[in-house]
Amino acid sequence: DRRMENFLIPPQSLNHRKGGQVAEAQEILSKRIGSDELFLSTFDRVVMEVVLPWLKARLAECGFIDDETTPTTFYYQRPPTLRLQPGPSKAVVKPHCDSIYGHQDGELNFWLPLMDNDLTGTYLWAESMPNKGDYHPLKVKHGEIASFHGSYCRHYVPANLTNYTRASIDFRVGIQGLFDPEWEMIGTRADHNRREVQL
């Protein structure tokens, strides 16, 4: 069965104490995604045809832009980040906000599950407002996308105690007037490439 959730990763490969090379594996995956033109063209279509029109409508709705016909520049992360969380494992992603890694205020996070999260129960959890502490799961289904303000709203992922692998992609979108395209992330080497588009 070639479903993402059935992808098996040997647990010892993720344990640095047992010779696992998590950072190296993530870097290899990132390079593969970044060079896969079919994947990237599909990702670009999702961003251009679904994500950015939705975001632009929200900007018009809240009065940030005049209306949906106003030309607006966006800066989206390309390639996105692939996340794999094999189970069973006690590993968690602890509560954090992305500003501690150098991300700026003028970008939104988008999370796209690549499998049925009900199989693992390892949804992404986020607070509704910065420092509110009211964590709730982003219960999006396969084929849906969630958005949240990850730079300032803390978020985390619980342990995957099942025999399935949780797979998702995430990316960020900056908005003209709120996002500085010259910004450099300090204190990390995991800066993201951006594609500038006008819609």
SS3 content of the chain, % helix, strand, coil (to 5): 30, 25, 50
Q: What is the pLDDT of residue 62?
A: 95
How far, in Å, CA of 146 to CA of 85, rounded? 18
Q: What is the pLDDT of residue 92?
A: 83
Phi–psi pair at 30, nearest 5 degrees: -60, -40
Q: What is the pLDDT of residue 187?
A: 59
Q: What is the pLDDT of residue 124?
A: 93
**Six-digit token string for 75:** 């800066």
Which tens digits make up the pLDDT trace of 150-183?
999 999 999 989 888 888 999 999 999 999 888 8
User: Of 171, 150, 168, whose CA–CA distance to 80 is shortest?
Assistant: 171
Q: What is the pLDDT of residue 10?
A: 67
Global confidence as pTM: 0.88
Taking 70 as the pLDDT cut, the residues of the chain under it are: 1-2, 4, 7-23, 186-191
Q: What is the pLDDT of residue 142?
A: 84
Phi–psi pair at 171, nearest 5 degrees: -160, 165
